[in-house]
Chain A
């Protein structure tokens, strides 16, 4: 058999190929992430949210486009920049916001915070404070799915920086040699903290590395186009569900916010960031497409925005009004 190919996903996907409901789902999911993150940023800067926060703003199309091909029975492993993945997987915004505020009502009862959110009931196996920590856990989840004879899959999200961890290579070989149902999703957002991608990574396209592990790789040049991500992920996930083993999806996107909230961003120019916001914003691109095609009128989009605003306001209220965990819970859940 020929080795699977590394290809570029180039074909422009037409919005007309989707029903209106489906398009609304894409839009609403991306909007939820955007508005959730804006609120988190504001509350962090206002001193109401403690710890570290890494925002997913500008990358919404990746999580949304991939997760739109998955159900709650499929698993994901996420990253330090995990809010977008969690929302796209179907998390409850109230419970998520509460966790980020360190409240008892949060997904992890306030023990995790932004970098350690998990929701097992929706198949979200956890964000990870260790860059590159998720690959092998995802491989194990995929191994379990295979041993249990399930048709579900696992996906692991990781950044361009994380692609240089050795853990990737062990998981890739492991998943390939055992033909595990695992999708590697690389979010190439140009930076790993302060480090520009090309100063630290050997290949122009990280998906090239899939070749060495005999798995197909697809590069989505416009990873901010949710439809391209959705279609590319769909094909790979079909391939995985059919029992062919793992696959690799690389989405080129851009981190428009600092690495963490409060990052002085000395490593890039304001012009570079602004250019990306002006020309590549995933929400702007989507709105343009659906209105130009005459599928959504402006006021319809505004109505969706208002609905999401309401959800975020509810989440914020829930988080703020929730109690903090009692100090007596320190040892709770350490051992079973």
Chain B
């Protein structure tokens, strides 16, 4: 094991996969000369040159559209979105082109593109630089969506995403980049679609992902001090998502809380909850609770942002109602 940041873990993944496969290349805004606005691409041009680490114009439509075209012509592009918030600019390229080409053309060609999308709240970045939009993509057949919470999964999932022949959206929470974690030495892959049990427990299941896994852990610590053992399931993938792992845990604990940073209304948590209601009703000993941000844009001013954010306390308070 080695202890490295989430950001370094993604760098290792890029480096290893680019060494392994010459058809892998990266493009995005300010990634080559600058190293990425969060430093997540630092040093790659020294190793692979500006031909494979490409600074693009501010043209999200061209970035994703050309990633799809390049994939159809035999390459394996990784495209950086700068901020997940800008993904709306190239939505057509993602949901009408990238997601559909393989199916619509009868399986003639695969589209091995990875879209890296730094999401989430950091530093009061406000309405257009803080969003979590994973639920949009969980609603699009043909895409895979991954959303790691720690360095080891960041590396393993990025490597798996690059090797996957399907298009993958890779959400990386900006607040996670500096957080260190243990990453296995050598080849480390994480299977897309498999959840991770972050901690075991018997009294209640908390299903979460990305940054919220850390808040859930704090809430679980507080519950533990009261003698309540919460099980935390880190989904890691939104599409496909590990229904079996969730149902198995709920069967054991009888109680379910789903927590995410994105707005609660229409969030991916709704899908998890609906599935448990459909397929695991008999396991439940209490009503389900769902925790997500209020239905409004991310505000700027500190007290407003604090009122908006989902925290360990939000989870703790919600969970207390069903215990």
A136 to B66, CA, bound (A): 5
Interface pair B105/A116, CB less than 8 Å apart: yes
Closest A residue, CB atoms, query B142: A334
**B69 at the A interface (CB under 8 A):** yes
Does A258 sit within 8 A of B, measured CB to CB?
no
| Complex CA distance for A141 and B73, rounded to whole angstroms | 5
- Chain A interface: which of B35-43, B106-114, B254-262, B313-321? B106-114
Contacts A147-B51, A334-B141, A335-B166 given; does A140 touch B104 at CB 8 Å: no
In the complex, which residues 107-138 of chain B have their Cβ closer than 8 Å to any Cβ of chain A?
107-110
Q: Cβ of B92: which chain A residues have Cβ within 8 Å of it?
A: 130, 133
Chain A residues, CB < 8 A from B96: 129-130, 133
A140 and B105 contacting across the interface, CB-CB below 8 Å: no
Contact B62 A108 (CB under 8 A): no
Tell me whether A136 and B102 are in contact (CB under 8 A): no
Of A135, A173, A334, the contact of B103 (CB 8 Å cutoff): A334
Partner of A140, one of B57, B73, B103, B141: B73
Contact of B56 among A109, A118, A174 (CB under 8 A): A174
Q: Does A25 contact B (CB under 8 A)?
A: no
Q: A125-B72, A140-B69 are in contact. Are A108 and B57 (CB under 8 A)?
A: no
The number of chain A residues with a CB under 8 A from chain B is: 45
Q: Which of B62, B107, B166 contacts A139 (CB 8 A)?
A: B62
Instruction: Give bound CA distance, A334 to B103, whole Å.
Output: 5
Complex CA gap A107/B70 in Å reads 21
The reply to whether B104 and A136 contact each other, CB–CB distance below 8 Å, is no
Whether A170 pairs with B107 at a CB distance below 8 angstroms is no
Beyond A130-B92, A147-B25, A333-B107, whether A170 also contacts B57 by CB under 8 A is yes
CB distance from B102 to the nearest CB of A (A): 6
The yes or no answer to A295 lying at the interface (CB within 8 A) is no
Pick from B65, B71, B72, B165: contact of A135, CB under 8 Å: B65
Chain A residues within an 8 Å CB radius of B77:
140
Instruction: Mark out the residues of chain B between 46 and 78 whose CB falls within 8 Å of any chain A CB in the assembled complex.
Output: 51, 56-57, 59, 61-62, 64-75, 77
Determine the chain B residues whose CB is within 8 A of the CB of A136 once the complex forms: 61-62, 64-66, 68-69, 93
Contacts of B66 in A (CB 8 A): 136-137, 139-140, 143, 171, 174
CB distance from B289 to the nearest CB of A (A): 32
- A166 beta carbon closer than 8 Å to chain B: yes
Instruction: Give the residues in chain A near B97, CB-CB below 8 Å.
Output: 128, 130, 133, 137
Tell me, yes or no, whether A138 is within 8 Å of chain B by CB: yes
A100-130: CB near B (< 8 Å → 1, else 0) gives: 0000001111111000101110000110111
Contact B102 A144 (CB under 8 A): no
- Contact, CB under 8 Å: B74 / A148: yes
Report the bound CA distance from A107 to B104 in whole Å.
10
Tell me if B101 counts as interface (CB < 8 A to partner A): yes
> Are A167 and B65 in contact, with the CB atoms below 8 A?
yes
Residues on A with C-beta less than 8 A from B68 are 136-137, 140
A285 to chain B, nearest CB (A): 35
A75 an interface residue at 8 Å Cβ cutoff?
A: yes
**A333/B72 in contact, CB under 8 A:** no
Is A108 within 8 A of B105, CB to CB? yes
Do B102 and A336 touch (CB < 8 A)? yes
B260 CB, nearest partner CB in chain A, Å: 24
Q: How far is the CB of B323 from chain A (nearest CB, A)?
A: 39
Q: Is the CB of A147 within 8 A of B75?
A: yes
Given contacts A107-B108, A108-B104, A130-B96, A173 and B59 within 8 Å (CB-CB)? yes
Is A270 an interface position by the 8 A CB rule? no
Report the minimum CB–CB distance from A325 to chain B (whole Å).
9
CA A145 – CA B23 in complex, angstroms? Answer: 12
Chain A nearest CB from B90 CB (Å) reads: 9
| Complex contact A141–B72 (CB within 8 A) | yes
Chain A: minimal CB distance from B50 (Å)? 11
List A residues 224-270 near B (Cβ within 8 Å): none
**A148–B70 alpha-carbon span in the complex (Å):** 10
CA distance A137 to B109 in the complex (A): 14
A130 to B65, CA, bound (A): 13
- Whether A112 and B74, one on each chain, are in contact in the complex, defined by CB atoms closer than 8 angstroms, is no
Distance A166 CA – B102 CA, assembled complex (angstroms): 25
* Contact between A174 and B62, CB atoms less than 8 A apart: yes
Q: How far is the CA of A83 from the CA of B164 in the complex (A)?
A: 32
Contact B106 A111 (CB under 8 A): yes
Give CA–CA (A151, B265) in the complex, Å: 51
- Smallest beta-carbon distance A130→chain B, Å: 5
**With A144-B70, A174-B57, A334-B142 in contact, is A118–B62 under 8 Å at CB?**
no
Distance in angstroms between the alpha carbons of A141 and B74 in the assembled complex: 9
A118-B105 in contact (CB<8A): yes
Min CB distance A245 to B, Å, is: 15
Task: Flag A313-336 by CB within 8 Å of B: 1 or 0 each.
Answer: 000000000000000000011111
Question: Contacts of B108 on A, CB cut-off 8 Å?
Answer: 107-108, 118-120
Q: How far is the CA of A116 from the CA of B103 in the complex (A)?
A: 11
Is there an interface contact between A112 and B104, defined as CB atoms closer than 8 Å? yes
- In Å, the complex CA distance between A67 and B53 comes to 33
Known contacts A133-B92, A137-B97, A333-B107; is-contact A143 B102 (Cβ 8 Å): no
Distance (whole angstroms) from the CB of A103 to the closest CB of chain B:
11
13 A-B contacts (beta carbon < 8 Å)? A110-B106, A120-B109, A125-B72, A130-B96, A136-B61, A136-B93, A138-B69, A139-B69, A148-B75, A154-B69, A174-B62, A332-B107, A335-B144
Using a CB–CB cutoff of 8 Å, the interface residues on chain B facing chain A are: 25, 51, 56-57, 59, 61-62, 64-75, 77, 92-93, 96-97, 101-110, 141-142, 144, 164-166
**Which residues of A come within 8 Å of B, CB atoms?**
75, 77, 106-112, 116, 118-120, 125-126, 128-130, 133, 135-145, 147-148, 154, 166-167, 170-171, 173-174, 177, 332-336
Q: Which 9 A-B pairs have the closest CB atoms?
A: A136-B65, A140-B69, A140-B66, A333-B107, A144-B73, A108-B106, A109-B106, A137-B69, A140-B70
Q: What 5 new A-B contacts, CB under 8 Å, besides A75-B72, A154-B69, A174-B62? A: A116-B105, A118-B109, A120-B105, A125-B73, A136-B66
